[in-house]
Structure 1
Amino acid sequence: MNDSSRGAPPAAGHRAPSDQGACPAGPARDEPEAQQTRPMPIVPDGPAPDGPLPGGGRGAAHRAGPLFRDETPQEPMAQNPAPHPAPDQPPQKKRAGRDLRAAIGVGVGLGAVVVASLFIVKAVFVGVIAAAVVVGLWELTSRLDEKKGIKAPIVPLAVGGAMMVVAGYVWGTEGAWLAMALTALAVLVWRMTQPPDGYLRDVTAGVFAVFYVPFLATFVALMLTPHDGPWRVLTFVILTVISDTGAYAVGWRFGRHKLAPRISPGKTREGLVGAVTFAMVAGALCMQFLVDDGVWWQGLLLGLGAAVSATLGDLGESMIKRDLGIKDMGTLLPGHGGIMDRLDSLLPTAPVVWLLLVLFVGSH
């Protein structure tokens, strides 16, 4: 067998260098090759190393090309090679962008607080709403100041926002409207104590904050006033949560067509269908078994309205966050972001659910 790892035979009258230096005079040319005293090099099982051989220097068997002729040279690795999954590994599945364990844990904890306060003392739940409003206003005004330099006065917003929720629960819609007007007026007056530069910008943001957070949250307090108020509020919370869950589950699994890519690239049309479907089923069950004098077909309409308003509310806050250049409004809730990141779909859904419930079963 020819040793393919050896070089070409030396020319006549010329001695070829060996791996270890000069080679002693070899046998005559007509001697058989088997009688040579030089041992055959041991071919390793794997590819030959790039460095020198154990004896020092580089042997004739190690050249620039591959060790064997049928071996394919390896291309140099790219600077940043793209990762390729191993053939025996399944393709990676989609992963959620947030810590699901933390999100579920925080969600369950918040749900326990809501349910406990709802069915123990109504006034405690009103306090929970007011506290959420104050924290949400603080997050919103802080981000406006950090990213846009807009200084909406937080003191009249926080005090007036909490009073709006209480006024809505105690005096109904008239109390809510009156408290909103007084809060907006307090924002205008409070800002007068500072230099006039940016006055219009700051008070406009303040009045927007009054409407966006405490006024919409007041409808939750209005839902609480009837004799079956806790069940109405629970229905409202269930519909909103189920809508968000249906949109997430269906969109994550089947989402292909973007719903509003410029506003929220993660939302899909399939997710919207999932939100509507889940919310309509939940609405029919809630109206049939939780709300007094409710009928299942009313729950279908209630679920449809809740799913649409929740989606629009989520898109609305996404538009605000895109304008501010942020991902979340805060970091208070692990896995969720801030309070406003949880109120985004609840706030616009509250007046829709309140109005439909009043039309279907009355306000008492």
Structure 2
Amino acid sequence: MNDSSWGAPAAGSGLGGPDQGPAPAGPAHDRHTAAQTRPMPIVPDVPAGGFQDGHGRGAAHQGGPLFRDETPHEHPQEPMPSPVPPPPPSAAPAPRQKKSAGRDLGAAIGVGVGLGAVIIASLYIWPPAFVGVVAVAVVVGLWELTSRLQERKGIKAPLVPLAVGGAAMVVAGYVRGPEGAWVAMALTALAVLVWRMTEPPEGYLKDVTAGVFAAFYVPFLATFVVLLLAADDGPSRVLTFLLLTVVSDTGAYAVGWRFGKHKLAPRISPGKTREGLFGAVAFAMAAGALCMQFLIDDGTWWQGLILGLAVAASATLGDLGESMIKRDLGIKDMGTLLPGHGGIMDRLDSLLPTAPVVWLLLALFVGTG
């Protein structure tokens, strides 16, 4: 065992201190030394330049006290361990990004205002012009729908009989009423069946099925808009129908964008929320009460509440229905004709199923005259 582990004095120094010289040798000294010797714990060798305590004994204080009862303040000259630096502060969380509408709102507003001006002008200046606007929208919507079906699914719904029959359906509804619309619908379906016979039979069933579906979905439902126009206060009825649908969509967007947390139908349309649906209902009911009270002849505010509730429900279902179609096709929009909106069908999605609902309720409340 090394003597240094016991704190033995170095050569040239004594127990009495460095100025007393070497310790005397002899038996007396040995007995004196033995008497003072007691067992001590084994400690490491004192490193070169180690600490010398007050009695000249070398002590190895590398990271803490040598004995258990030693504390750092007993040896003020002992260097204290360097404090452990605190961990660096975690990176500041990224600022929360504002919600985005996902579209060019400026272009969407501009297009919406332009379409609204055309509709209002045609309604109140010369109502037959509005019928032409509806017919054009129907033909473009059919073109978008059949094009996407062929591109994404290989379904060839014949566009020519659909376009001709769809425009005729709208005109017949305005001129001849519901009976004219039903007859035109039946003739359009028959034309689709016959037209598709000019091509090979492979895929005939799916093509004509898609064609009949397109004829019902776009022009037949749009016919109820011109049926509203045929009444004595037709322009006001059409304006009520359009206002309630737009207000419902706007309320759903505004409330859902600000407060939406609970998904309404995540598998169909992840952006729609239950809070947005409540916003659509509240906005549409308020607008319905005002429209029925001030725009519709013989209408009352409580009828507007019912009408607004029905419009909010049908507009939401119509939007979800087209979202289901687009999800099945694997597309975001039906077209790109309207900047900020997508295609014509992306604007007709909530209007088409709402038109028959509004026509029916107004017929029940105030009649069809």
Q: What is the TM-score with the length of structure 1 in the denominator?
A: 0.76
Q: How does 1:15-94 map to 2 (within 5 A)?
A: 84-85=93-94, 91-94=96-99
Q: Give the 4+ runs in structure 1 shifted more than 4 A.
A: 69-75
Inter-partner Cα distance in structure 2 for 1:96 and 1:362: 40
Q: Which of 297, 302, 308 lines up with 2:307 in the alignment?
A: 302
Cα offset, 1:94, TM superposition = 1.1
Deviation string, structure 1 residues 47-89 (Cα, Å, up to 9, x no partner):
xxxxxxxxxxxxxxxxxxxxxx9888999xxxxxx9953xxxx
2:247 counterpart of 1:231: no
Q: How does 1:85-124 map to 2 (within 5 A)?
A: 85=94, 91-124=96-129
Change (3 A) 1:171 1:93: same
Kindly provide the amino acid, as one letter, of the partner of residue 250 in structure 2.
Answer: T
Q: Secondary structure at the match of 1:266?
A: strand
Residue in 2 that maps onto 1:347? 352
Residue in 2 that maps onto 1:63? none
Residue in 1 that maps onto 2:15? none
Cα offset, 1:93, TM superposition = 1.7
Q: Which of 173, 178, 184 lines up with 2:178 in the alignment?
A: 173
Residue in 2 that maps onto 1:336? 341
Inter-partner Cα distance in structure 1 for 2:134 and 2:96: 45
Cα offset, 1:92, TM superposition = 2.6
Kindly provide the amino acid, as one letter, of the partner of residue 254 in structure 1.
Answer: F
Could you tell me which runs of 5 or more consecutive residues in structure 1 were left unpaired when the two chains were aligned.
1-68, 76-81
Cα offset, 1:227, TM superposition = 1.1
Residue in 2 that maps onto 1:12? none
2:218 counterpart of 1:213: yes
Cα offset, 1:320, TM superposition = 0.2
2:285 counterpart of 1:280: yes
Kindly provide the amino acid, as one letter, of the partner of residue 121 in structure 1.
Answer: W
Kindly provide the amino acid, as one letter, of the partner of residue 178 in structure 2.
Answer: T
Inter-partner Cα distance in structure 2 for 1:348 and 1:226: 20
Q: Which of 139, 154, 160 lines up with 2:144 in the alignment?
A: 139
Inter-partner Cα distance in structure 1 for 2:93 and 2:201: 60
2:208 counterpart of 1:200: no
Change (3 A) 1:221 1:70: same
Q: Which has the larger radius of gyration?
A: 2
Kindly provide the amino acid, as one letter, of the partner of residue 112 in structure 1.
Answer: A
Q: Secondary structure at the match of 2:332?
A: coil
Change (3 A) 1:239 1:83: farther
Inter-partner Cα distance in structure 1 for 2:334 and 2:286: 31
Q: What is the TM-score with the length of structure 2 in the denominator?
A: 0.75
Kindly provide the amino acid, as one letter, of the partner of residue 283 in structure 1.
Answer: G
2:331 counterpart of 1:326: yes
Aligned length: 287
Deviation string, structure 1 residues 207-233 (Cα, Å, up to 9, x no partner):
000000000000000000011000000
Cα offset, 1:91, TM superposition = 3.3
Q: Secondary structure at the match of 1:265?
A: strand
